[in-house]
């Protein structure tokens, strides 16, 4: 397990960090794996109305969501549950989940994964979406699998 005990403190202001775009989402990566010694990633995710990933699970990471703005529904154990600002949702690794912005305006969440490494997935997807008018979804699925992310039918 990575440890950050030798790292200096990090201070990040709102909306600071590289901006990545993929899947219609905007991600502001506040803390990447390099900054945290691989312990965690922390980012803001802005999701358009109706947006969000399909059901999937992570082999390696636990994921925590803090809803800051909007209405977001989360899929867990076959059931959708809707939450607004102030809600916190934890999804353990290997747990099938999804989320969807069910509001009429963009939602905003602060999301973390432990351990780190998820930032590398976002960076690779950002490059795929940036260089192609319509990215090759087989390539996206390959990148996802390489990072331990698997999409499932529910």
* 3 Cα distance to chain centroid: 22
Q: Give the angle 91-83-46 at the CA atoms, nearest 5°.
A: 75
Does domain 19-148 correspond to CATH entry 2.60.120.10?
yes
From residue 4, give the alpha-carbon distance in Å to each of 1, 10, 16, 35, 81. Answer: 10, 11, 21, 9, 34
Alpha carbons 95 and 5: distance in angstroms, whole number: 29
Model pLDDT for residues 9-64, shown as the tens digit of each residue: 999 999 999 999 999 999 999 999 999 999 999 999 999 999 999 999 999 999 99
Cβ neighbors of 35 (< 8 A, separation 6 or more) are: 7, 10
Model pLDDT for residues 136-150, shown as the tens digit of each residue: 889 999 999 999 999
Run of H or E including 79: strand 79-83
Q: What is the pTM of this model?
A: 0.92
Model pLDDT for residues 107-121, shown as the tens digit of each residue: 999 999 999 999 999
- What tokens were used for 43? 């980012």
Q: What's the confidence (pLDDT) of residue 151?
A: 96
Instruction: Assign 145 to helix, strand or coil.
Output: helix
Alpha carbons 81 and 22: distance in angstroms, whole number: 25
């Amino acid at each position: 397990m990575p440890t950050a005990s030798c790292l200096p403190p990090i201070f990040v202001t709102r909306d600071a960090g590289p901006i990545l775009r993929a899947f219609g989402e905007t991600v502001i990566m506040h803390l990447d794996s390099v900054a945290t010694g691989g312990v965690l990633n922390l980012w803001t995710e802005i999701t358009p109305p109706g947006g969000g990933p399909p059901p999937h699970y992570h082999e390696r990471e636990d994921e925590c969501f803090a809803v800051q703005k909007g209405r977001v529904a989360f899929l867990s154990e076959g059931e959708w549950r809707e939450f607004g600002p102030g809600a916190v949702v934890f999804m353990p690794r290997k747990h099938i989940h999804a989320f969807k912005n069910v509001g009429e305006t963009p939602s905003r969440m602060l999301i973390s994964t432990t351990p780190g490494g998820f930032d590398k997935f976002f960076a690779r997807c950002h490059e795929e979406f940036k260089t192609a008018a319509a990215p090759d979804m087989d390539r996206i699925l390959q990148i996802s699998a390489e990072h331990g992310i698997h999409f499932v039918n529910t």
